[in-house]
């Protein structure tokens, strides 16, 4: 049985017991919900891969509370990373450093690096402080499904598979943390998120961005996998391809396929009464709603026709990355 409990002294004590015994607990963060286990405990970490059905070569992020000394986990923290820590932590930024090999090797799938994150969500901080252990945690969804931004989303994916979901309400950020490689001369973004390239450049002067090419070696192994996919068929069009999107909608609807258009708010007036779900107006709003909207769509639609928002850069880089991974693989699948 899976319990959903508000975060208080009782649920935290329960969570701690589960973690100490080598189990997994779902907990809120400001980005998405995580599925956490003791990072020192190999069997517990293996359990996470098993619960999610996650490929065993996709490494996990270690989460710690804000007063935890990460110097015991990683080494060679460059000056620019100190500045970024100062500016953005606690918050939705994950930093990859050389590992000291203190945590179980299955956390990083045998890589010599370790990804570390200090979430800002008060519930996450309470949980991490209470257990006072580094917690290895991927997003708390079944592998390749849409990430969860509420306790109910976690339950929908993991009911009966974990004993406890700590309920910290809806995640405000909505897309996963920025993953930043801090092992080189300059920081390099491996996964875009709410801490944007522009924000990092402003703080430390330079920031690279790693683009994974199909079939190549992935610096962040998560990149090469299909992700964030709703359970129905999907199609994706550019912001300037609205006519094509509407044609597909009409064709499929005529065949009796339940179709929904997923788009930004400014497009709604151009849809001529077709059924839609709105992502919202601002990039931050779209990030915060994206996964909940994808989960809402898949409940009723057989086909989601996504129309990409027009704006680019900043937070939209992360939104577009997730939206195209979720809906970008063509509608014939
Ligand atoms: O916001 C988040 O980051 C959420 C919450 C729960 O904290 N977590 C999350 O975890 O999104 P997950 O497992 O779904 O994604 C982790 C990403 C993957 O793309 C993985 O490849 C990358 O981080 N990663 C982990 N360790 C790495 C490492 N040592 N080097 C490079 N990339 C790494
Ligand atoms: Mg994930």
Residue 304 Cα to ligand 2 midpoint, Å, equals 21
**How do residues 220-266 score in pLDDT, each as one tens digit?**
555 545 578 899 999 999 999 999 999 999 999 999 999 999 999 99
Nearest to 275 by CA among 298, 254, 301, 251: 301
The torsion angle over the Cα atoms of residues 59, 204, 212 and 190, rounded to 10 degrees, is 20
Ligand that comes closest to the CA of residue 174: 1
The DSSP letter of residue 217 is -
- Residue 94: the pLDDT is 98
Ligand 1 atom nearest residue 223's Cα: 19
Top mutation candidate among 54, 115, 321 for ligand 1, by most atoms within 8 Å of CB: 115
Does pLDDT of 307 surpass 90? yes
Q: Give the integer Cα–Cα distance in Å for 54 and 147.
A: 13
Domain spanning 3-209, CATH class: alpha beta
Contact, 330 vs 285, CB < 8 A? Answer: no
Ligand that comes closest to the CA of residue 96: 1
Q: Model's pTM, two decimal places? A: 0.94
- Residue 163: the pLDDT is 98
Q: Residue 330 — pLDDT band, cuts 50, 70, 90?
A: very low
DSSP string, 14-54: HHHHHHHTT--EEE--SSS-EEEEETT-HHHHHHHHHHHT-
| Number of other residues whose CB lies within 10 A of the CB of residue 287 | 25
Q: CATH 3.40.50.11030: which residues of the chain?
A: 233-327
Query: DSSP E strands: which ranges in 141-225?
Result: 164-167, 178-181, 188-191, 208-209
Ligand that comes closest to the CA of residue 64: 1
Q: Tell the residue nearest (CA) to atom 20 of ligand 1.
A: 222
Does pLDDT of 268 surpass 80? yes
| Number of other residues whose CB lies within 10 A of the CB of residue 229 | 18
* DSSP reduced 3-state for 84: helix
Binding-site residues, ligand 1, Cβ < 6 A: 29, 31-32, 34, 58-61, 94, 96, 108, 111, 113-115, 117, 119, 137-139, 176-177, 179, 190-191, 220-222
Does pLDDT of 3 surpass 90? yes
Please, how many CA atoms are within 13 Å of residue 209, restricted to the half-sphere of its CB? 16
Please, how many CA atoms are within 13 Å of residue 281, restricted to the half-sphere of its CB? 0
Q: Give the integer Cα–Cα distance in Å for 17 and 275.
A: 47
Instruction: Phi first, then psi: give them for residue 106, nearest 5 degrees.
Output: -70, -15
- Residue 332: the pLDDT is 35
- Residue 274: the pLDDT is 98
- Residue 226: the pLDDT is 59
Percent of the chain residues topping a pLDDT of 90: 90
Residue 1 Cα to ligand 2 midpoint, Å, equals 23
Q: CATH 3.90.870.10: which residues of the chain?
A: 3-209
Does pLDDT of 141 surpass 50? yes
Does pLDDT of 323 surpass 80? yes
Mean pLDDT across 127-152? 97
**How do residues 184-215 score in pLDDT, each as one tens digit?**
999 999 999 999 999 999 999 999 999 765 55
Ligand 1 atom nearest residue 31's Cα: 1
Contact, 124 vs 63, CB < 8 A? Answer: yes
- Residue 47: the pLDDT is 98
Nearest to 74 by CA among 138, 139, 134: 134
Residue 246 Cα to ligand 1 midpoint, Å, equals 36
- Residue 215: the pLDDT is 54
Q: Tell the residue nearest (CA) to atom 32 of ligand 1.
A: 220
- Residue 221: the pLDDT is 54
- Residue 56: the pLDDT is 87
Q: Residue 217 — pLDDT band, cuts 50, 70, 90?
A: low
Q: Residue 269 — pLDDT band, cuts 50, 70, 90?
A: very high
Contacts of 267-276 with CB under 8 Å at 24 or more apart are 267/242, 267/307, 270/242, 271/246, 272/246, 274/246, 274/249, 274/250
Work out the mean pLDDT of the chain and round it to a whole number: 94
Query: How many angstroms separate the Cα of 275 from the Cα of each of 149, 249, 253, 319?
Result: 24, 9, 10, 22
* DSSP reduced 3-state for 109: coil
Nearest to 146 by CA among 55, 229, 27, 49: 229
Which CATH topology does 233-327 take? Rossmann fold (3.40.50)
- Residue 228: the pLDDT is 80
């Amino acid at each position: 049985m899976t319990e959903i409990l508000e975060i208080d002294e009782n649920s935290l004590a329960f969570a701690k017991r589960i973690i100490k015994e080598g189990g997994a607990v779902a907990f809120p963060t400001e980005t998405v919900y995580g599925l956490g286990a003791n990072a020192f405990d190999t069997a517990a970490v293996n359990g996470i891969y098993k619960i999610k059905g996650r490929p065993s070569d996709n490494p996990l992020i270690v989460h710690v509370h804000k007063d935890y000394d990460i110097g015991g986990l990683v080494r060679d923290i460059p000056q620019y990373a100190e500045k970024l820590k100062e500016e953005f932590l606690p918050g939705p930024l994950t930093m990859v450093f050389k590992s000291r090999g203190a945590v179980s090797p299955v956390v990083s799938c045998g890589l010599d690096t370790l990804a570390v994150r200090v979430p800002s969500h008060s519930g996450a901080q309470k949980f991490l402080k209470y257990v006072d252990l580094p917690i290895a945690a991927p997003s708390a969804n079944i592998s390749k499904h849409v990430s969860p931004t509420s306790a109910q989303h976690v339950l929908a994916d993991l009911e009966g598979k974990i004993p406890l979901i700590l309920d910290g309400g809806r995640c405000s950020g909505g897309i996963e943390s920025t993953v930043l490689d801090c092992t080189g001369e300059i920081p390099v973004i491996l996964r875009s998120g709410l801490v944007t390239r522009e924000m990092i450049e402003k703080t430390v002067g330079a920031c690279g961005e790693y683009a994974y090419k199909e079939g190549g070696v992935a610096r962040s192994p998560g990149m090469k996998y299909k992700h964030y996919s709703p359970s129905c068929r999907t199609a994706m069009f550019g912001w300037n391809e609205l006519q094509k999107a509407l044609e597909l909608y009409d064709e499929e609807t005529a065949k009796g396929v339940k179709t929904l258009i997923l788009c930004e708010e400014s497009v709604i007036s151009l849809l001529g009464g077709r059924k839609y779900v709105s992502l919202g107006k601002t990039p931050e709003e779209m990030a915060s709603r994206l996964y909940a909207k994808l989960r809402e769509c898949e409940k009723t639609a057989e086909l989601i026709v996504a129309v990409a928002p027009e704006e680019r850069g900043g937070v939209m880089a992360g939104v577009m990355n997730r939206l195209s991974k979720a809906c970008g693989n063509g509608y014939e699948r």
